[in-house]
Amino acid sequence: MSLWHVRIFLIVFVLTGTGPSLAASDLVPAPPSVVARAYLLLDAQSGQVLAEKNQDKRVEPASLTKIMTAYVVFQEIKKGNLKLDEEVLISKKAWKMKGSRMFVEVGKRVKLKDLLMGMVVQSGNDASVALAEHVAGSEDAFATLMNKYADNLGMVGTHYVNSTGWPHKKHFTTAHDLALLTRASIREFPEFYEWYRVKEFTFNNIRQSNRNRMLWLDDRVDGVKTGHTDSAGYCLVTSAKRDSMRLVSVVLGAKNEDARIAASRKLISYGFRFFETYELYAADEALTHMRIWKGEEQQLPLGLAETLYVTIPRGKYKALDPSMTIETEIVAPAVKGRQYGTVDVKLGAETVTSQPLVALRDIPEGGLWRRMVDNILLMFE
């Protein structure tokens, strides 16, 4: 790693989020040819997009909707509003659902964990509706929750009207949004994400296999979800891990099951073959200390609020060039988390990522004498 370069300006230009797709770089081959309405490949840790087509195009999600249904239920469990062993009363609406089912019976009570497994592994529409009604009272109310969580995650191209993915003209998403949701599910609920790799589940003496054939075809794959309707085509969200690198691929609107499998395998293999991911700087690690004026202390530690990962072409780690841009004059009070600059990481002329450089702790305003002295010193600065 080359030494830090520090650029100090009075005005800080802020670039947040990930950099442009490195797949377009001449450092690696072009992405594989994928036949689908839309697709996307990204690194789960850095968020770097490695390949895409129509990633922001609105499409039908079909049963990929259930990734969000599960995410909402996981959130409710985390908040303490639900327990895995509590029982859920099965309504007539849930029992009558068409399509894929786990075969619950109307009027019976089923443990919440069993319903989650029936939805995650068996893609049960009946389980999805039962969970939605249990959480929010009705599926419509649950869809409102789904949309609120989608907004929180920045899924700007998504709108839900049901918990199953049953076709509706106002029910849509994008490849990019599905990738955001999948990253959040993996990051926030690792203990529940393990269920997506379960290959079969038995309920009511009926054993059903996971519809995600990638679990059998690639040992690196540990999720996530299939989807299909006549109008949506064949869809698949895949996550795979090799060593410390995790990829997420989204394939939407393939012509058949074999096509969605082939597309997913191409994308995952491309990502692992030509890219690698590194953790550069940990969250809350002091990357530099800057003079702070008129404060109780004179040195303000600056760092990152979140761990910084980069995904780059293989063999290019030593060519990374990190730098910091910092405000020239920092005056107390400083508030933890407030931005005072940026951390930029370049590879050649290309910016890989740019993240906010923030205060790592509060520094309140100093006493009268400290403020008077620093006022004088600032006149000479």
> What are the catalytic residues?
63, 66, 123
Helix (H) or strand (E) holding 368: helix 368-380
What's the DSSP call for residue 155?
Answer: -
Q: Is 3 exposed, middle or buried (0-12, 13-18, 19+ CB in 10 A)?
A: exposed
Specify which residues 128 forms β-bridges with: none
88, 119 Cβ separation under 8 angstroms: no
Count of Cβ atoms closer than 10 Å to residue 37 Cβ? 18
Beta strands, E only, 282-372: 288-293, 299-303, 308-313, 320-327, 330-331, 339-347, 350-359
226, 232 Cβ separation under 8 angstroms: no
| Rounded Cα gap, residues 269 and 22, in angstroms | 16
Angle at 371 between CA 367 and CA 375, to 5 degrees: 175
